[in-house]
Amino acid sequence: MPTTLVIFYQEEDGSVPVLEWLDNLPEKTQDKCRVKIERLADLGHELRRPEADFLKDKIYELRVSQQGIQYRILYFFHGNTAAVLSHGIVKEREVPPKEIDRAIERKKKFEKNPEAHTYTQQEQ
């Protein structure tokens, strides 16, 4: 199976919500989240529970647990690309509906103009 390209959703103002959120997590949690994102790149649609799960409206979640805290990274597939849209810390067993709705809105924006909403790392 070919590797899945994983990209990060970028807002109109150039901000990248998931990367900003990741940067503010404890280092060990960042590492675990990056490993899950790498697994998504390696396995794509093949990734299943407990690492990933389908939510609704083509939105999936990467599931990361660290010291009893549930971290979720929401994404969808656009062809052979997984677009990472949103994030959150879940205290309950489910992702709050408002987080799923935010991911759905970002998905719609991305689908209308993928190039404008794809983060590309700037060389420094």
79, 82, 87, 90 alpha-carbon torsion, rounded to 10°: 90
d(CA 31, CA 29): 5
User: What predicted TM-score, i.e. pTM, was given to this entire model?
Assistant: 0.91
pLDDT for 1: 54
Q: Cα separations (Å) of 19 from 70, 79, 87, 104, 113?
A: 17, 22, 9, 18, 20
Percent of the chain topping pLDDT 70: 95
Average of per-residue pLDDT values in the chain: 91
pLDDT for 94: 81
42-91 pLDDT, tens digit per residue, is: 999 999 999 999 999 999 999 999 988 899 999 999 998 999 999 887 77
Q: Cα separations (Å) of 20 from 24, 43, 46, 49?
A: 7, 25, 27, 26
With beta carbons less than 8 A apart as the criterion, state whether 73 and 18 touch: yes
Does pLDDT of 97 surpass 60?
Answer: yes
Q: Cα separations (Å) of 65 from 2, 30, 56?
A: 27, 11, 21
Q: What share of the chain is helix, strand, coil (3-state, %, to 5)?
A: 35, 30, 35
The DSSP secondary-structure symbol of 93 reads S
Average pLDDT over residues 24-38: 95
